[in-house]
Amino acid sequence: MRFAVEDCTLRLARSGGHLSPHSYPVKDMSRGGISFLVGEVPGAGAGIDVGEDIFMSIDVQAFPQQMELSGTVRRITSEEEATHVVGVAFAKMDRMDRDRLDRLEQSEELRRKTRASGY
């Protein structure tokens, strides 16, 4: 099941690199992967290609700590004139992050929480 998470963003790093200073808005996620938005040219700003392994620091507003996951870019598709969607399949993850994804999938209230709403 794919679900959107309010005000969720991520920063990414190419294999062996440092996290990008730029955050990308998350479109949706599931237990198996995540999709996020990048600029006008596929991979613009992100500098990534289909098939590439990446590391992501995902900021879910409902959790005090960011989720740190790795994955493989599976697709980059055009969504609108100036936006592309990057789809990433998660690689293995630890039990805490698996639990967080399960909780997000099961709770619409949790997906809507933001730091501004005073969780």
Sequence length of the chain is 119
Beta strands in the chain (DSSP E): 9-14, 24-29, 33-38, 53-59, 67-80, 83-90
Domains observed in the chain: 9-99 (2.40.10.220)
Strand partners, 12: 56
- Under the phi-then-psi rule, with left for phi > 0, alpha for psi from -120 to 50, and beta for the rest, what region is 118? left
- Which pLDDT band holds residue 118 (cuts at 50, 70, 90)? low
Is residue 24 a contact partner of residue 9, using CB atoms and an 8 Å limit? yes
Is residue 91 a contact partner of residue 74, using CB atoms and an 8 Å limit? no
Residue 14 buriedness (CB in 10 A; 0-12 / 13-18 / 19+): middle
- Which pLDDT band holds residue 99 (cuts at 50, 70, 90)? very high
- pLDDT, one tens digit per residue, over 9-68 is 999 998 778 888 889 999 999 999 999 998 765 555 567 889 999 999 999 999 999 999
